[in-house]
Structure 1
Amino acid sequence: MGILAREPLLSGLPPADRAALLAVGTRRHFDAADRLIQQGVTDDFVLAISGGWAAVRADAANGRAFLLALCGPGDVVGELSVLDGGPHNATVIALTPLEAHVVSSACFHRFLANHSAAGVALLRGMALRLRAIDAHSRDLATLPVAQRLARLLVTLDQDGPRRTPAVRLPQQELAAAIGATRESVAKCLAALRSRGVLVTAGRQITVVDRAALAAIAEL
């Protein structure tokens, strides 16, 4: 689905470069629901996330909101605005308590100038993100809601350090991520529950039969 980065930027940096980037930033704590970045605003900093998760949302002209990405440990957000000087194209909101290093624009540019491997990692991260967006756009245009939801849940249920708590997102957020209505997502979740593929408790979704979910997703 393209809402979860396959390779966080910080993990692609040599350890010394990663430490150097964090060293020039100021560590900050954010509470769940705090707004880290505001769409349409031009800031002079980037955020290097070291703990917790955030949602990247964009508001369209017709009033609809879209969940573009989920960011977690190792991700850097706000870099596009710092690189091109333009306003942010999305809002970033903490989903959980979150720790991040705030790196000023001047420090970030100086860091890239002095650490060539970091520039390569940044370009690679952008390329992966563009590929993911392309794949996500194709899914939105061609797949039915049930399959789009299944692909999203498979992505979010991956094992490993990047496993995300986003399966606790409300149905409205799940719908925004796959370009569907909350009602259609609720119907799909009910169908998956009835088939024993998953169970729900409040906002928590637990995948019981991952093989079946992957089959529905056709992955």
Structure 2
Amino acid sequence: MNSDTLCAMRRSRLFSAIPAADVAVLLEGHRTLTLPDGALAFAEGTPADSLLLVLSGEILIDPSAVSPQLRLSVGDTAGEEAVLTGTPHAATGRAAGPVTLLAVPAGVLMAYLESHFDVAIATISAMAGHLREQVREITELKMQSTAERLASYLLALAGDATGRAVVRLPYEKRHLADHLGMDPATLSRAFAKLRDKGVVASRTDKVEIADVAKLRTYGDCAAFTA
């Protein structure tokens, strides 16, 4: 097992509940998948024959009519709800740039969990916590206007910075628009709304924030219309 796989498994909520000595059992029959940008990782309505663990890159879960897009990165798993319930995938996942996935056969995972009740309970608990976080993220995004979503995202990138800050978007703006639940034209308008708050976006991945504290106050207190 290489270091990338070990690192991703340690970061995974699901695999962190599984004793290290048992990891080899789960990797029996596993596959490593390398996908190019935009490639389909799994499709809504298709059977879930494997649990997917992101080893590198990111997977985008297509949004529904009412929810923004979700983004899965290193250590995140996809398809667990379908594997554990024996139902088809409830959404579609696509590669956001090149991505490498570890595919654990559904049958191997289920056989292991059925024979290790304590681990199964811990795994379900970990999944429930992850689901709560995703629901909270979606709820917060839906309550914010497009400009507020963008401001919150940029502030997260800025971290604890104060005063002037320069942040770099970790992926293309079209993927950022998907993640924030808007189309590219709406994202451009959101950037335009933030200009008078000192936010200047370059044509590349660099975004300059003139005053982080001012933007933070704006994101906390202002009310926008999208």
SS class of match (1:146): helix
1:1-219 correspondence runs (5 A): 8-9=12-13, 12-13=16-17, 14-18=19-23, 20-60=25-65, 67-116=68-117, 118-155=119-156, 167-171=170-174, 173-193=175-195, 195-197=197-199, 199-202=201-204, 204-206=205-207, 208=209, 210-218=212-220
Larger radius of gyration: 2
Q: CA deviation at 1:156?
A: 5.6
Percent identical pairs in the alignment equals: 26
Contact 1:156 1:167 in 2 (8 A): no
* Distance change in 2, residues 1:184/1:18 (3 Å): same
Q: Any stretches of 5+ residues in structure 1 without a counterpart?
A: 1-6, 160-164
Letter in 2 for 1:27: T
Letter in 2 for 1:170: K
TM-score between both structures, scaled by the size of structure 1: 0.72
Letter in 1 for 2:45: G
Q: Deviation per CA, 1:153-181, whole angstroms, max 9, x where unpaired?
A: 4446669xxxxx9742334x444434445
TM-score between both structures, scaled by the size of structure 2: 0.70
Contact 2:28 2:108 in 1 (8 A): no
* Distance change in 2, residues 1:52/1:133 (3 Å): closer
Higher relative contact order (CA 8 A, sep 6+): 1
* Distance change in 2, residues 1:170/1:12 (3 Å): same
Contact 1:46 1:77 in 2 (8 A): yes
Letter in 1 for 2:83: V
* Distance change in 2, residues 1:93/1:148 (3 Å): same
* Distance change in 2, residues 1:28/1:134 (3 Å): closer
Give aligned pairs, total: 202
Contact 1:55 1:71 in 2 (8 A): yes
SS class of match (2:185): helix
* Distance change in 2, residues 1:67/1:139 (3 Å): closer
* Distance change in 2, residues 1:39/1:191 (3 Å): same
Contact 1:8 1:125 in 2 (8 A): no
SS class of match (2:87): coil
